[in-house]
A and B are shown apart, each in its own frame.
Chain A
Amino acid sequence: MTNDLTTWLDNLLAELDGISVRRTSRRRLRVEVASDALPALLELLRGRASFVHLSAISCVDWIDAGQFELVYHCWSYETQSLVSVHTRIPREPGVYISVYDIYTPAAFFERDIHEMFGVWFEGSPDLSKFILTEWDGPPPMRKDFDSEAWVNQHFDWQDYHPDWLKDLEARGGGIAVPPDEQRFSRRTVDET
């Protein structure tokens, strides 16, 4: 039964123009679609193919390509499969259409993406600030925002002077390699 539905879905999607479909596993389907065709596709998925659950909308900032990638993860309780619909929009001006009229949960994800990436969703019910209420800097999840640099500008490292350190310094030792010089948990490290 499930397999029949899966085949049916594959066939349905295959008939549509301008989309590329790749089945990555039995329950996962990756669909790429042009941004202007996406709402119609979601409409189709929800209305005709039982994908009633919008699991999430993810946004990826492909800064080098000058694009935002929006990924709509839709789940069907009937076919028990997940379709991830990928689309790309230009990073500037970063405006897209809301799918709130198709999926209610989109309101949260669109608000979140607007706040974190600065994408404006036309028709979304509420794009007001949510998590970053008092933030007036650039949308922080954008790749060109360096959160660590911001933190270093605004906060001080704890300055420790324990006795053992004073003692070592008196004997000619002391801090040789501060953590910032060596650690790998920072993107800039091995670019140097």
Chain B
Amino acid sequence: MRDIDHQDRGGLLGPLKNLSFFARQPITEPLGPRPAAANYRGFHLNDWDLCIGCSTCQKVCDNAAITMVKVPGLPEDPVKGIRNLRPAIDYGRCCWCALCVDLCPTGSIALSCEYVHTCLDSELDSYFILPDARGIHGTPYPKGWAKSTDADLVALDRQPMTEQAPAERIGNFSEIVAGYDAHQALIEASRCVQCGMCHDACPTHMHAPEYIRAIWKGDLEGAVREIYRTNPFAHTCGRVCTHRCETACSVGHRGAPIAIRWLKRYAMDAVDHARVKQIAAEGRADFISGKRVAIVGAGPAGLTAAFDLVRQGHDVTVLEAQAQGGGMVRYGIPDYRMPADRLDRDLDVIISLGVKIRYNTRVGVDLTMERLRAEYDAVVLGVGLWMGRSTRVPGADQAGVKRAVDLLRAVAAGEAIEVPQSAVIIGGGNVAMDSARTLARLQQQRYGEVRITLTALEDLDHFLADADEIREAREEGVQILEARGPQEILMREGQVAGLRTWGVRSIFDGAGRFAPSYEPADEQIHAGDMVVEAIGQAADVALLGEALTEVLQWHRGRLQVDGQGRTNLEWLWAAGDMVRGPDVVSAVADGHRVADSIHAYLSVQEHAP
């Protein structure tokens, strides 16, 4: 019964049995350092090539042991999401929990297999180190605790977005994405590590970490408030933004970046429109400055400037040539990506702050720039890129050859257009995809089938269009041909019958200039009743008038402006696509810049004697 050999009274001999230990070999351990176990949590190692300086390690450090240190000479690129910061560790505070490793988005941090660091009081500074790949003492100890899938705390997978299936969506113009529901939005928002790379990368520096956090907390009005700090085109950018934030997102290094754009869309859709208007009006100046500003063009750039200036108490009038506002967002982006009613909401918020828009008013025709200069204290040009470029191949001037911008504008304006039974699109950018997919929908509605061919100079890897656009266009039945150079519009009986192309050898010459060379032997004929040229757009600057064009400075066909968007004339600014190239969020950023510059100018005027 007794499992232990114990005695109730005890004896003297029992313990003596252990004298046999004197006859045993002693155990010796070598004095030299030994590396610890493979998972040991020793001192920090940091792969500086992988580290992007996002400071997530610092956020999760429970002991405030991590300081972000600026290291000059390291790459720094906000657009790519790279900072020249690196974590420094205070071993007076570190507790070796390795949460910094497990939450590191890139996996650059690890802990070494090294056990000991100690020093005299006079060398206390050695407890504060800037770890690199060599370890605390510069001696080669192997990596111990490092990123593993088991312990990885970064949520790498994105919440899937519900979309209309291709067969379903090709028959209509309603929005393809369904948007997140509250649960999806919460989960997606919870993935964010709050590094702020998105903020740095965004042209208008949106407070994405803040509004994502607010969404996660369920404070949707707070999210809208954060969004309106920098972007009055909130609905628009929640849908069609080029989302550089997501390219820079630190979670994107090993997983899918946070769906920042869809989260913005969710917050905007979830808050009552009347409430959005109230939030946008918060902080608006309660005085009238008495200054008047004219803005030409009611697109994102012009209206953003108008939004800012009105909030600062200035009197703003926007002159718009079209019947409705929104510029290229309305007339260039099809409804299945950017529903017009959402754009209307953005405009409604801006107008509700007191921006006056005069529609159907074409500057240069209905009134001149000179008159604007005389009547207003400052003038902004934000006219967008409305002139489609032509390939100028033989036959390009035929009636059956359309420019993409004209086509898209006509569809958006609800004008009747002749839907071709088959069409050829020239161009590999987003506008080309928009044209192809718009025509595809019209064809499906009219004829029940899609016959679209899209040809572009570039090979697929170098298409300018977003990968999603290309994929979706293909799903919708658009035939995409890469590396084809247009040679001639083919005609039959006075009607456009198709396009003749040659294969592309190269697009640029040795000096990097645009000079495509073709392979004439590789000739193809693409049948189509309509050919759409979508190879680029330019601003129509005829509205300036000859005299003004003469005194303004130009750079490669574009109006030259300074860092604040001001031209060489003190009263004239320019903003948006016409100075930046096409991009909604850059236009918004431009609008802010210009508004700041104008406000400063007007304020100085005020104080001048």
Contacts and interface: CB of A to CB of B under 8 A. Distances in A.
* Contact, chains A and B (beta carbon distance below 8 A): yes
B190 to A, nearest CB: 13
A178 B67 contact: yes
Given A158-B90, A158-B124, A176-B85, A185 B62 contact: yes
A168 B67 CA distance: 14
Interface in A142-192: 158, 160-165, 168, 171-180, 182-185, 190
Contact of A168 (B69, B92, B125, B213): B69
B70 A160 contact: no
Contact of A164 (B58, B72, B130): B130
B69 A165 contact: yes
A131 B486 CA distance: 86
B162 interface: no
A163 B64 CA distance: 22
A173 B72 contact: yes
B127 interface: yes
A160 B90 contact: yes
Contacts of A178: 67
Given A162-B129, A180-B64, A173 B69 contact: yes
Interface in B422-438: none
B124 A179 contact: no
A162 B126 contact: yes
B463 interface: no
A188 to B, nearest CB: 13
A165 B126 CA distance: 11
Interface in A31-58: none
A168 B124 contact: no
Given A176-B69, A177-B68, A178-B67, A183 B125 contact: no
* Interface SS majority for chain B: mixed
A36 to B, nearest CB: 38
Nearest to A171: B72
Contact of A184 (B60, B68, B127): B60
Nearest to B84: A173
Contacts of B125: 160-163
Interface string B124-141: 111111100000000000
Nearest to A162: B125
A162 B92 CA distance: 14
Interface residues of A, number: 23
B453 interface: no
Nearest to B53: A176
A99 B72 CA distance: 65
A175 B67 contact: yes
A183 B124 CA distance: 24
A182 B69 contact: no
Contact of A177 (B58, B84, B127, B130): B58
Contacts of B64: 179-180, 183, 185
A158 B69 contact: no
A184 B55 CA distance: 12
Contacts of B84: 173
B69 A184 contact: no
A183 B59 contact: yes
A182 B58 contact: yes
Contacts of B88: 165, 175
B73 interface: yes
Contact of B72 (A168, A179, A180, A185): A168
A160 B213 contact: no
Nearest to A161: B125
Q: Specify which of B62, B125, B130, B213 lies most central, judged by the most chain A CB atoms within 10 Å of its CB.
A: B125
A158 B60 CA distance: 21
Contacts of A180: 64
Interface string A100-118: 0000000000000000000
Interface in B316-348: none
A177 B213 contact: no
Contacts of B130: 164-165, 168
B128 A162 contact: yes
B63 interface: yes
Contacts of A185: 61-64
Interface string B450-476: 000000000000000000000000000
Contacts of B60: 183-184
Contacts of A179: 58, 61, 64-67, 90, 93
B399 interface: no
B71 interface: yes
Nearest to A174: B70
Contacts of A168: 69-72, 130
Nearest to B125: A162
Residue with the greatest number of chain A CB neighbours at <10 A, chosen from B63, B70, B84:
B70
B72 A172 contact: yes
Interface string B159-175: 00000000000000000
B70 A173 contact: yes
Contacts of B55: 177, 182
A185 B59 CA distance: 8
B115 to A, nearest CB: 21
Nearest to A170: B72
Interface in B77-104: 84-85, 88, 90, 92-93
A183 to B, nearest CB: 5
A169 to B, nearest CB: 9
Interface string A56-84: 00000000000000000000000000000
Contacts of A164: 129-130
A20 B68 CA distance: 52
A164 B134 CA distance: 14
Contacts of A158: 90, 92, 124, 127-128
A173 B129 contact: no
A57 to B, nearest CB: 28
A174 B130 CA distance: 11
21 contacts: A160-B125, A160-B127, A160-B128, A162-B126, A162-B129, A164-B129, A171-B72, A171-B73, A173-B71, A173-B84, A175-B67, A175-B68, A178-B67, A179-B61, A179-B64, A179-B65, A179-B66, A183-B58, A183-B62, A185-B62, A185-B64
* 4 pairs of A and B residues whose beta carbons are closest in the complex: A160-B128, A179-B64, A177-B68, A162-B125
Interface of B: 55, 58-73, 84-85, 88, 90, 92-93, 124-130, 213
